[in-house]
Chain A
């Protein structure tokens, strides 16, 4: 398994995700600086969380113009699995690999806490092992928005990966932490090889951190 973690100036979950991958897959992921231009030989590409370029202007916007991103898009279109976590999700949205937009949380404040999510799509390589999972979120702009048309398309095409829910798995407005449309926490591309999600599976991948549910997402792909 050859996994690559893209590092932008201001990424800050790059190490965390590398640790999780190493623990789960047993093999060392390769860290790729954003100025590099090749991603050959990748079985999995991860765009990690953090504040690339300080999240200045718009979260993910500046990173989405980095040299490496052209290669990420190319690989994604060739079918290589790509995961964007939190800021990585925002970056993938800015590249248009994923549909819609992530706007400011409706509370207008940063939120760091555990949430529950459940997989809507049960078949993709990322979601097949996860049912209801507890995982932390930590973001300011995770409020998923899409036009009616786009929303219909991603729903009809089974592109909704995860929704925020309560402990019992019910998708309620109370369990929506940030105002996302239809409680959407993560989505897939058309072809289902690109996943973007706001929760941080890498922070919930060992019992010492209070929760292991994040493992399933990595295990799904790595197995």
Chain B
């Protein structure tokens, strides 16, 4: 069957297999004034799918605050850009690679890292840090162990080889991810403010250049398999899993950065999802021009590739550029030096059409505006679920004698134990600028050759987001903000990765809407805008969706690295204070979940006014050299945070708590709190400063000894805590 004879009516399933709805197809026909051929159909299908078009999310994403004093580039480019003084900028973004990682955890995660790295160095930045936000199913699920090991190995395999430190991240286990794991990768890069590169093609007649690896049949949309077109073909045509090649990416990185020093690049765009299709269309659309491409010129790895396959291949480690024609041979030589493909495959035109030729025959001709501006956009129905209600937790059900055993059980739990097993598989020190390594709050990476640094943290609490999407969305933003504050940095901006279930279900869409609303509220109040992000919908298997997971990656600035803070306790005799009020919010806490096996009650609410006041107070203390260590109080509550400080610094502590309901005080998850360590000498000063700022502060106890002691009654040695805290991953994966 020839492509041009193909008819919609007789092959309705072909349209469906391309994920296009009937009315979407109708609008293609209307726009083109004819039916598309197969190549064109493939292009529309790639551009109009959720991943590229944001058709379900666009309307809502616009509600997020995206501007601020330091925002140089908000959402819309390959990555967002913020000003970090002295002509320097930080460039960052987070992206999901959920589905590929479920299919093949090593390669899926590895190519996820490769993809986000390209997004950042396309902008002209040298990547300086990677992070990863991971979610797996419950640990007893038969697939979890394999997926966990593979994903961690894949992230390490790629990041280690390319030589960019992986400095942080997060990992959770929850049954809602049994059938859909989440692998979100974030990269931060550093560039000069006047040397940022964008993707808008310009200059009629300028050459369009393909660089990087050759194109194979990697990751071509599954729809092609089901289409009749391939019936008579053998195994050969099966789309294949994308395999990452970090070595080639390293060469591509160095070659691109080398070329960027010359005034040769007019526009540059990496080939990510939907490869050549999305990159070429993006460049044309941004530049309001047309492109003409000769597909015969595309470097190919496999034989007999069709126009359809070339346009939809997701082979990794490739880039598209428009260059200054007078610099062509200079550019070619740079790529040759790095042993990379460099091919002029087309030119910029004034037609505003995407024209594809192959072997002298026109394979496609689509007006860019139909692909982009006419892309579907939906305001899907949504239902907002009532947030879960507060339950009464009665003190009588708790015995004070269980405090220490409960603590041990909690810090041994997969969701709260040390992630050392993970980060030790990542080179987190290469580039010799990692000032705060994983295991503290935010990681801190020095801007090379200076005395300033950026603090980075990723966070999200899906349980909060499920049971109160608005507060959950608020919380995800605030949690990174707190982590950045606790490391001594001023929070500046965030990137997000919105992982949700099927948006065609009103309840799921409601979760999305509410999370966005919560995020927007925190972002505006804290002057902490969203500058880039990614949406991953349809994370569902057999009708069961994941918990709403808006993973947030926050970035802050430390102007003077001598003011960097870590969580480890520093010295005997120092005083520990709690900043922020503790009411003992055990509802929906890790305590209930881990110890009582219950996920119930209300989600703790965030008062943004108090949040900001407390955070700024802590930052003032750090700036004034008044604290020796700081840790925010997050999941698990005060005692978990205290234990983490003890373990990190290898010091004991004596805590005095005159509260009746000890469990609630120690394990409750009230928001807006930090633990700080201050010397006796500075104690009064800190108390006075708190009073001046009307910040709630309580003295909790003293640093000292080798045990964690509560009211002289309950105690446990730090050595035992460390042992229990570091056991899980090794045992689990070693079995």
Contact = CB atoms under 8 A, between A and B. Distances in A.
A and B touch in the complex (CB under 8 A): yes
Contacts of B403: none
Contact of A110 (B162, B339, B425, B437): B425
A62 to B, nearest CB: 10
Interface in A18-54: 19-20, 50-51, 53-54
A16 B432 contact: yes
Nearest to A11: B163
A109 B163 contact: no
A112 B427 contact: yes
B156 interface: yes
Given A50-B163, A111-B424, A208-B446, A16 B246 contact: no
A222 interface: no
A13 interface: yes
Contact of B247 (A13, A54, A110, A200): A54
Contacts of B247: 9-10, 51, 53-54, 56
Interface string B415-449: 00000000111111111101101000000001000
Nearest to A112: B427
Nearest to B166: A112
Interface string A125-151: 000000000001010100000000000
Interface in A105-122: 109-113
A112 B429 contact: yes
A111 B250 CA distance: 21
Interface in B149-198: 153, 156-157, 160-163
Interface string A152-187: 000000000000000000000000000000000000
A203 B435 CA distance: 11
A55 interface: yes
B687 interface: no
A12 B425 contact: no
Nearest to A51: B161
B716 interface: no
B428 A112 contact: yes
Given A12-B162, A51-B246, A208 B561 contact: yes
B429 A136 contact: yes
Contacts of B156: 109-110
A51 B164 CA distance: 12
A51 B248 CA distance: 11
A138 B245 contact: no
Contacts of B426: 110, 112
A96 B250 CA distance: 27
B338 interface: yes
Contact of B251 (A9, A13, A111, A202): A9
A15 interface: yes
B633 to A, nearest CB: 26
A43 to B, nearest CB: 23
Given A10-B161, A54-B161, A138-B427, A109 B432 contact: no
B424 A9 contact: no
A15 B431 contact: yes
B429 A203 contact: yes
A86 to B, nearest CB: 10
B153 A109 contact: yes
Nearest to A52: B247
Contacts of A113: 424
B567 to A, nearest CB: 14
Contacts of A111: 424-425
A112 B425 contact: yes
Nearest to A9: B251
A111 to B, nearest CB: 6
A10 to B, nearest CB: 5
Q: Counting chain B CB atoms within 10 Å of each CB, which of A55, A203, A208 scores highest? A: A208
B338 A9 contact: yes
A38 B437 CA distance: 39
Nearest to B420: A113
A209 B424 contact: no
Q: Counting chain B CB atoms within 10 Å of each CB, which of A110, A112, A210 scores highest? A: A112
A15 B425 CA distance: 22
Nearest to B564: A208
Nearest to B159: A110
Q: Counting chain A CB atoms within 10 Å of each CB, which of B157, B247, B432, B561 scores highest? A: B432
B425 A51 contact: no
Interface string B230-266: 0000000000000001111011000000000000000
B425 A138 contact: no
Nearest to B453: A208
Contacts of B250: 9-10, 12, 51, 54
A19 B161 contact: no
B246 A209 contact: no
A53 B250 CA distance: 10
Contacts of B163: 12-13, 50-51
A56 B248 CA distance: 11
B484 to A, nearest CB: 19
Contacts of A112: 160, 423-429
A12 B430 contact: yes
A54 B437 CA distance: 25
Contacts of B431: 12, 15-16
A193 B306 CA distance: 58
Given A9-B251, A50-B163, A51-B161, A203 B432 contact: yes
A166 to B, nearest CB: 15
A203 B246 CA distance: 22
B430 A138 contact: yes
Given A53-B247, A54-B245, A19 B425 contact: no
Given A112-B428, A113-B424, A202-B432, 4 more contacts: A16-B430, A51-B247, A110-B153, A110-B160
24 contacts: A9-B247, A9-B339, A10-B251, A12-B162, A12-B163, A12-B250, A13-B430, A51-B160, A51-B161, A51-B162, A51-B163, A51-B250, A54-B161, A54-B246, A110-B153, A110-B425, A111-B425, A112-B423, A112-B424, A112-B427, A136-B429, A138-B160, A138-B427, A208-B446
Interface of B: 153, 156-157, 160-163, 245-248, 250-251, 338-339, 423-432, 434-435, 437, 446, 561
